[in-house]
Structure 1
Amino acid sequence: MTAPHNYDLTGTLLGTEVPLNSPVITWKDGHTTILPAVYDEKKNNLCEAVDIPIIRYLAKCPESTPHSQYVTHLSNADIPPNMMEDVVSSALSLNKPVVIRGIGQHAVEEELTADFLDKHYAISPHRAVWIHDAKSRAIDHTKVTTAGVLKSFCESMKDPEKIQCVLDIPLAQTSLQDQLRNLDHGLAHGWNHTTYDVQITSNVHPENFTVKGWGLLHHAGFLTYPHHDAEGSLTWVRMEVGMKFWVVFRPIDRHDDRKHLQDMAIKLGDFTENEVWIRANCRAEVITIMPGDTLIIPPGQLHAVYTPVASFATGGHFYHYGCMHLTEISRYLDVVVGDCLTNQALHNALETLRRMMIGIPRLSPRISLYKRPLLALCIMVLQGKQYRAKGGHKSAVADTETAALSKEISAAIASHLGVTKRKSASMLLYKGDQFERGALVVREELDKALIRFTEL
């Protein structure tokens, strides 16, 4: 018999992991959590200015339920394994985050310690890491990280004066659950299927592969500010230990207005100055994820995360043919205002996108292609240098052995989709609801248009 869920998340924390006098708050779904508290020499809580106002707003947002119109809720027990990938792919291409409940299937029930991470995830207690510190962030948001060792970070979880996290711990061995292992189209169909047509001869940036698996380690009370993840990738997160409130945002209306989508991203990035506008223009839902749950969010999904108890999660980034229209919007934002929106700068996107394009003439007919994502992929390949993220290195958009062929295939597909000298690809893509995937592409007709690229 399953034990009743404890909605009070403050009891064991006060005085041990957080200050005894930490304020508390009750979320709309009934959970009671601490509010972060780190004090200066005058005993002022440095989280009062930014972190706490954001958390108070998040706590009032509605809980995401299986009845949500904007988030797809699934259960490992309810979806046959052979159908899971198609169901998830379809939802993501419609700009819907997907949460897969797996509570009760997670076998590990141990305290989160350095020894636990070493034993179960091969994360050495001596690993050097970059530590993000809430107090440092409150004092100077441009200087938030310090170097440290994982063991000392874990020990400081019991220090009430510290609220910290470690982001992007490389875990190349981690992956999505078996029934979703082919969801990463960048690897499965881009890199895996194109080396016959174009051998790898240039230096490939390691981020094409190292971003596929990582770990997130948080103290209790850490707030991740609203942002979207870099380079238009999809993101998956599996809760291993602890709990997170993952809050996703979307515009209430004006989905056809790219300037409005840009404004929303900018204003969410400076929440305390724009709260009135955000309340009037944004819709938000709180997705509560617990051990065994997996959350997958589409490209460009604006989100904030509050971690109420010490937690560890695994996850990764990937690309998907059905989401390229969302990838294009996200990468466009990286170009315009990327330095204030994304979680980190990546350098792998263009080479993977080129490989995905080269893979299309030989792509399995099982993979559904839609007009707007396909058109967006064409634009990103043909105009690759224009999508270099703000502050990104020029090497991220350098021409390699994939450049010429990927552009040639892109031009052929764009022509097949109706692009002419008088009707550019961007004119077609920028018209209408920017989140819509459009009509299903008839593969037999597309294959005929690309037949010359399949010759051996």
Structure 2
Amino acid sequence: MTETSHYDLTIGLLGTEVPKNSPVIKWKDGYTTILPAVFDDHNINVCAKVDIPIITYLAKCPVSTPDSLYITHISNNRVPATDLHDLVGDSLSQNKPVAIRGRGRHPVGQELTAEFLDQDYAISPNRAVWVHDVMARAIDHTKATRPGVIKYFIESMKNPKTIQCVLDIPLAQVSLPDSLKHVDHGLAYGWNQTTYDVPIKSNVHPENFTVKGWALLHHAGFLTYPHHNAEGSLTWVRVEVGTQFWVVFRPKNRYHDRQHIQDVAIRLRNFTENEAWIKAHCDAEVITLLPGDIVIIPPGQVHAVYTPVASFATGGHFYHYACMHLTEISRYLDVVVGDCLTNQTLHNALETLRRMIIAIPRLSPRIPLFRRSLLALCIMVTQGKQYRAKGGPKSAVVDTETANLSTEIARAISGHLGVTTRMSGPTLLYNGDQFDRGELLTEKSLNEVLTSFTLL
């Protein structure tokens, strides 16, 4: 394969997976891709009004390189596994996505078939899923999904008249790669290390566990609009087959202004109506993911994804102690405008956050805790009902066996961090750079207020 053909992602698609007359575009890193084309009964491309303008903008965005000040790039072969957790956690806590390059599990050119998914990922060809359809989305974005079956979804990849994807295939057996598995603090500490102090007695919503592993399936030409992921989780994705362009956005300035951060997220979600404003107030970088590459994005990170060729990816959601200030902003946005910012509805994070607080008195001293991030976690626990996402069920914020102890610990920590009857937690948190994790807290200072919670 020549260097030129390597960058031409239209080869083999025109007339087979997409219409022969599909337009093409060249990205800043040299890749040439198709632009989506789905024609209605009047031979009008329904992607021309929204999808193509967004992709055209994305293709002009700067390519993220190892020199980026805002995205951390890691070579999977050059960083010892013992250092990877700390490097990744430190970057994410500073609101910097992480791109990890490495060789994929599957050979380049691996064919995406129903048999491959069945054999390698235990995804049955008869599995029922919700299919997102571009034509349906163009007609009514509130009714973009319809029921489907995996084998028929795969067969329709060769139908130039359709562009579809499946955004959420639960794969509970999938987890972070071994070199990153402990970066999931919600599971590693929140759930694994609190059952002595608070045995699990209540019915726990399975979302607390099933969101840690899932898969994504895309036809060639599918655009996932700018959005953030629900419930303040961090998100990791590894491309297994195909190619994806992940574009991450950030405000140019005014990091201290929560209303401005909210405005940025809202306007990005309605990109075509706000393109001029977005150009003036947002920066963006493109992360090109090839098979084996991983991207991890912080909570609340608005991103768009363009998939130019049929692709399959695995990924999941998790929580991290050093990112709780970002989780709080994200969950706040879910409360006020959540129905227009996310492409996936999740509602049951509170129980995990409560257990993360309960774990702190016995937490390993290896885990760094930062002032603003820890304060944000305390606020989300003590004011849990106020963080119920827009449209979320009341059952998501009920008091369980973790409620009293988590509240007691959170209040003790909050007092140590300066919260008083006259100086509320939100007052402290809402001042200053909203993306700042705060200074590192010493184990000694925290132990003074948490000793009583470590008695056997």
Paired residue secondary structure (2:183): coil
Match of 1:67 in 2: 67
Residues 269-288 of structure 1: pairs in structure 2 closer than 5 A: 269-288=269-288
Report the secondary structure of 1:264's partner residue. helix
Measured in 2, the distance between the counterparts of 1:367 and 1:181 equals: 14
Residue of structure 1 equivalent to 2:166? 166
* 1:128 paired to 2:128: yes
Shift of 1:345: 1.4
**1:397 match:** 397
Deviations 1:411-433 (A, max 9, x none): 00000111111111111111111
CA contact (8 A) 1:245 1:287 kept: yes
Deviation sequence 1:269-309 (CA, Å, 0-9, x none): 10111000000000000000010101100000000000000
| Aligned position for 2:191 | 191
Paired position in structure 1 for 2:443: 443
Query: Could you list the per-position Cα deviations for residues 187-235 of structure 1 after superposition, in whole angstroms to 9, with x for gaps in the alignment?
Result: 0000000011111111100000000000000000000000000000000
Query: How far apart, CA to CA, are the structure 1 residues paired with 2:171 and 2:2?
Result: 31
Contact 2:105 2:240 survives alignment (8 Å): no
SS in structure 2 at match of 1:199: coil
**Contact kept in structure 1, 2:414 and 2:425, CA below 8 Å:** yes
Distance in 1, matches of 2:339 and 2:104, equals 40
- Quick one: which amino acid aligns to residue 127 of structure 1? R
Normalising to structure 2: TM-score of the pair?
Answer: 0.98
> What pairs with 1:102-251 in structure 2 (closer than 5 Å)?
102-103=102-103, 106-107=106-107, 110-251=110-251
Could you tell me how far 1:181 is from its partner in structure 2? 0.5
Structure 2 counterpart of 1:31: 31
Q: Are 2:97 and 1:97 equivalent residues in the alignment? A: yes
- Post-superposition offset of 1:30: 1.0
1:110–1:116 Cα contact (<8 Å) kept? no
CA displacement, residues 285-337 of structure 1 (integer Å, 9 cap, x when unaligned): 00000101011000000000000000000000000000000000000000000
- Residues in 2 aligned to 1:203 and 1:53: alpha-carbon distance in whole angstroms: 46
- Please say if residues 103 and 290 of structure 1, whose CA atoms lie closer than 8 Å, have aligned partners that are also in contact: no
Q: Which residue of 2 aligns with 1:55?
A: 55
Structure 2 counterpart SS, 1:324: helix
TM-score, normalization: structure 1? 0.98
**SS in structure 2 at match of 1:47:** coil
Contact 2:174 2:213 in 1 (8 A): yes
Which contiguous aligned blocks of 4+ residues in structure 1 show a shift greater than 6 angstroms? Answer: 1-5
Report the 3-state secondary structure (helix = DSSP H, G, I; strand = E; otherwise coil) of the residue aligned with 1:200.
coil
AA aligned opposite 2:128: A
**2:260 aligned residue:** 260
Unaligned runs of 5+ in 1: none
Q: Which amino acid letter does the alignment assign opposite residue 372 of structure 1?
A: R
Matches within 5 A, 1:358-397: 358-397=358-397
Contact conserved, 1:223 with 1:306, CA < 8 A, in 2?
A: yes
Mapped to 2, the partners of 1:57 and 1:371 lie a distance apart of 38
Asked whether the equivalents of residues 9 and 34 of structure 1 are also in contact (C-alpha less than 8 Å), the reply is yes
CA distance in 1, matches of 2:232, 2:188: 18
Query: What's the CA shift for 1:2?
Result: 11
Q: Counterpart of 2:225 in structure 1: which amino acid?
A: Y
Aligned to 1:353: 353
Q: Distance in 1 between matches of 2:91 and 2:106?
A: 25
Please give the secondary structure, in 1, of the residue aligned with 2:142.
coil
What's the CA shift for 1:347?
A: 2.3
What secondary structure is seen at the aligned counterpart in 1 of 2:30?
coil
Aligned mates of 1:307, 1:203 — CA distance in 2: 38
Equivalent AA in structure 2 for residue 295 of structure 1 = V
Q: Give the corresponding residue for 1:309.
A: 309
Deviation by residue 1:151-194 (Cα, 9 ceiling, x = unmatched): 00000000000000011101111111111111100000000000
Match of residue 42 from structure 1: 42
1:430 maps to 2:430: yes
Q: In 1, are the aligned partners of 2:208 and 2:349 still within 8 Å (CA)?
A: yes
Partner secondary structure for residue 267 of structure 1? helix
Shift of 1:348: 2.1
Distance 1:309 1:37 in 2: 13
**One-letter code of the match for 2:31?**
H
8 Å CA contact 2:232–2:300 kept in 1: the answer is: yes
Cα displacement (A) at 1:104: 5.7
Matching residue's letter, 1:310: A
Cα shift at 1:105? 5.9
Q: What one-letter code is carried by the residue in structure 1 that aligns with 2:142?
A: T
**SS of aligned partner of 1:186:** helix
**1:78 Cα deviation after fit:** 1.0
Q: Which runs of 5+ in 2 are unaligned?
A: none
Give the match for residue 408 of structure 2. 408
Write the distance in 2 (CA, Å) between the matches of 1:272 and 1:325: 30
Once residues 163 and 395 of structure 1 are traced to their aligned partners in structure 2, the CA distance between those partners, rounded to angstroms, is 36
Given that 2:225 and 2:304 are in contact with CA atoms closer than 8 Å, whether structure 1 keeps it comes out as yes
Distance in 1 (alpha carbons) for counterparts of 2:46 and 2:180: 42
The equivalent of 1:341 in structure 2 is 341
| Contact 1:244-1:289 within 8 A present in 2 as well | yes
Map of 1:15 onto structure 2:
15
Aligned equivalents of 1:342 and 1:144: distance in 2?
Answer: 14
- Whether the 8 Å contact between 2:246 and 2:306 is mirrored in structure 1 is yes
**1:81 CA displacement:** 1.2
Q: What SS does the corresponding residue of 2:295 show, helix, strand or coil?
A: strand
Identity %: 72
**For the structure 1 residues 211 and 244, does the alpha-carbon distance in structure 2 shift closer, same or farther, using more than 3 Å as the test?**
same
Count of residue pairs the alignment pairs up: 456
Amino acid at match of 1:79: V
Which amino acid in structure 2 is aligned with residue 170 of structure 1?
P
